[in-house]
Amino acid sequence: SRKVIQGEVSFKQIIPNNDSKLTPVNVIFFTDVMNQVISETPLNTLLYNDSDIIDCFMYVKEFEQAAYFQYSLGEQCLELTSKEIEDNMCFPENVFEKLFVIVKSFSGAMSLFMTVGNSVWTKKCSQHILEVILQIIFDNVQIIGLGNDIFMVSGMLCYFNSFDDANMFAWAYHIDETCKWASALYQQCVVMGNLQYLRDWAECYDMDKKTLGCLEEIKGRSKKFLERWEVFYDLVESLWPFVVSMRYEEKVIVEKVRSSRHKLTFNFNVK
């Protein structure tokens, strides 16, 4: 197994040519040894000889093990490439070549997971493929390697000038709450003055009180762009008059409560 993984011999030289020797015990033993050697082998060696390693698993009909192996390759490459992008001010050289290798690994794994009917891992592969393809398309924003940090993911929305691009990113990372768009809406519509962004956004989403409140909080932290805010707010009101009205009434009630100075008195003289 080690010689196959290191590319010293072909897998056909160590796999028995008689199917009768492929007993369940032999297959389990062989698979365990393969996985052990894989865990001890450098990533570059595994990538160079991945076809032979996959053939070994396929020959003994361990399709799922072959899928896990390819998924592991994709995951390791994804982690390294994400770190490389994060550590550089601009995209490093040969990054696209690495991204295509990652897509190839996850695509191969997905095909095998589909063959054995493993829908959970098929979905994981498709998610990674989508993220990497988006990274290939958008080479000025880090998309891969964001994990489950919803604050970081939501923050990345701000960097897309086009709503269609931002929405594609949001779909890939399952940003399904309207309020998570607040920072992007403020950045693009108020700071950048891109009101077409809001019009495009309105075709897919509805403004609600929570999102409008988040926008007002962001506006409250900065005294800049007040004129642009007014223009933006007027457009919001024209698109969602009922929401703006409800939000206004809500703020009026809150202000009344805050301004009231009534003190509660209790009579403890119980007879």
Is residue 121 a part of any domain in this protein? yes
In a domain, 145, yes or no: no
Over residues 102-114, the pLDDT tens digits come to 999 999 999 999 9
Give the pLDDT score at 129. 96
Instruction: Note whether 120 and 14 are same-domain residues.
Output: yes
Interval 115-168: pLDDT, tens: 999 999 999 999 999 999 999 988 878 888 887 677 788 888 999 999 999 999
CB-CB contact of 111 with 48 (8 Å): no
* Number of structural domains in the chain: 2
Specify whether 128 is located in the same domain as 174: no
Cα distances from 56 to residues 66, 106, 110, in angstroms, run 8, 19, 18
Residue 200 in any domain: the answer is yes
Same domain membership, residue 124 and residue 11: yes
Helix axes of 163-172 and 119-137: crossing angle, nearest 10 degrees: 150
One domain for residues 177 and 72: no
Domain housing 83:
2-137
Instruction: Say if residue 30 is in the same domain as residue 111.
Output: yes
pLDDT at position 176 is 81
Q: Give CA–CA dist 158/154, Å, rounded.
A: 8
**Whether 78 contacts 128, CB under 8 Å:** yes
pLDDT digits (tens, 9 = 90+) for 220-258: 887 789 999 999 999 999 999 998 887 766 665 556 555
Same domain, 13 and 125: yes
Both 102 and 155 in one domain: the answer is no
One domain for residues 10 and 130:
yes
Please tell me whether residues 218 and 108 are part of one structural domain.
Answer: no
Chain segment 51-91, per-residue pLDDT in tens: 988 988 998 889 999 999 999 999 999 999 999 888 886 77
